[in-house]
Amino acid sequence: MSEKIIIIGGGPGGYIAALRGAALGGKVTLIEKENLGGTCLNWGCIPSKIMKNSADLFLKCLKADQFGIKIEGEITPDMVALMDRKEKILATQRKGISSLLQSRGVIIEKGRGTIKSPGVIEVSKSDGQKIDLDFDKLIIAVGTKPMNVPDFPFDHKKILSSNDILVMDSIPKSMTIVGGGVIGCEFAFIFCALGCDVTIVEAMSRLLPLPSVDEACSKLLLREMKKRKIKVLCDTIVTKADTIGDGVGIFLAPSPFTDNPKPQKLKTDQIKSQIMAVCIGRTPLSEGLGLENIGLSTQGPGWIPANEQMQTPVENVYAIGDILGPDKIMLAHVASHEGLVAAQNAMALETDPKSTMSYEVVPGAIFTMPEIGTVGLSENQAVAKGFEVETASVNFRVLGKAQAIDEIAGEAKMIIEKKSHKVLGVHLIGPHATDLIAEATLAIEKGLTAEEIAHTIHAHPTLAEIMGEVASKASGIPLHG
């Protein structure tokens, strides 16, 4: 008898789980209250990359003469046209996901799913209709939303969420971004490129203050921001915002959260911008889900606990994706892999071996300018874990391809275990770093040494040569670096 599997949430975790569950013979129903694709497709990864692509192209047009191309007339960004292109791409992607699900026999229910009782989900549709659906196994993939800070709540006009930024129809003269994490830094480069005066306020001592991002990347990123005249205020917090009158008055204070023993001193306690974008975290969407009806307790502000098999403390109920919280890794590709694990375990017989989720080798992709790709341990993480390490760094400017495309800013850093020479971590900041990190991910997953990568032939002239260069240097046989 086929298992009845219900999945709440059609993001990159939910729809992948649906496809896998259906492929394994399950009778799968996917419940989604908004658009298929979740935050990643509709409010995150894809729309922001569409904007970044336009920003990159605009910058190249501005210096076309350096590439031997003459452009006559004024070159200006068109946000209305950009947003129109974005919506067309998103619609195409959503349609593709829907068609794929339906071709695999997955039933799609549009509405809000609530757990009514053990084994029963109530779906509330937009027209007020409610239907009950039975399940044998449940996979929760409801995700998160932008965090709203009580001291300066979103008004969606002058104080914006990351969602609001993605539907803007004009470029502001000035923007202050609260939060120098991944989202904040990506938007800073995009809007700076499009002609906006950008300031970042970050509570910690560095940009991208994530354990998985090596400090070398943060330092180089700060240098690139300064080149582009993006103002960065680290060790600083926003205490309140005044939206009365023209623009936003933003009040600053020294950060009580900084890890800097000698934090930067405030040069001013107030700045002003046309708009303020708040990019400092996500809030779980578990409220109102009916978890109490099956005895499933959440942690912290509403994160759902799950083990390495994606099983929650409640039998036959699984959870995947961002709803698991920051104790796991909140990335779309991690959610997709968790979805595979959950679906396989949901369909497995009691005697079958269980699939498990590993978070040891997860690549990170940050679409700043230049891009950042990371995998494995940072130098600080490796030392903290007790490894005796060696590191090697090579600048992208040594590559002929980087010179040819005029994208020479960046470096590659490799962390290896001193005794075995196994690669523990790779941190790239430079052109197409988010694509190049794939080789390093496979290398760490398979336990390769720096020498093994160095002895792998990399095509010339390509940006991929950076891996051969940094591996050669880590092996004690530096080439150009």
Active site residue 460: yes
Q: Using alpha carbons, select from 207, 289, 210, 202 the residue that is nearest to residue 238.
A: 202
DSSP 213: S
Q: How far is CA 194 from the centre of its chain?
A: 22
Q: What angle do CA 376, 382, 384 make, to 5 degrees?
A: 135
- Polymer length in residues for the chain: 481
DSSP code of 323?
G
Query: Any bridge partners for residue 319, and if so which?
Result: 140
Alpha-carbon distance of 305 to 296, in angstroms, equals 9
**Six token digits for residue 225:** 């921001």
Q: Please answer whether residues 399 and 464 qualify as being in contact, where contact means their C-beta atoms are separated by less than 8 angstroms.
A: no
β-strand 130-134 against 120-124: which pairing, if any? antiparallel
2: CB partners within 8 A, 6+ apart: 25, 26, 27
Q: Is 229 left (phi over 0), alpha (psi -120 to 50) or beta?
A: left
Kindly name the residue from 156, 432, 455, 460 that is annotated as catalytic: 460
Instruction: Round to whole Å and give the CA distance between 176 and 183.
Output: 13
Of 446, 459, 382, give the one whose Cα is nearest residue 418.
Answer: 382
Chain centroid to CA 165: 16
List, as own/partner pairs, every contact residues 348-355 make where C-beta atoms lie below 8 angstroms and the sequence separation is at least 24, other chains included: 354/309, 355/309
Long-range CB pairs of 345-350 (<8 Å, 24+ gap) are 345/309, 345/310, 345/311, 345/318, 346/3, 346/5, 346/21, 346/26, 346/137, 346/139, 346/316, 346/318, 347/3, 347/5, 347/21, 347/24, 347/25, 347/26, 347/137
Catalytic residues, by residue number, are 460
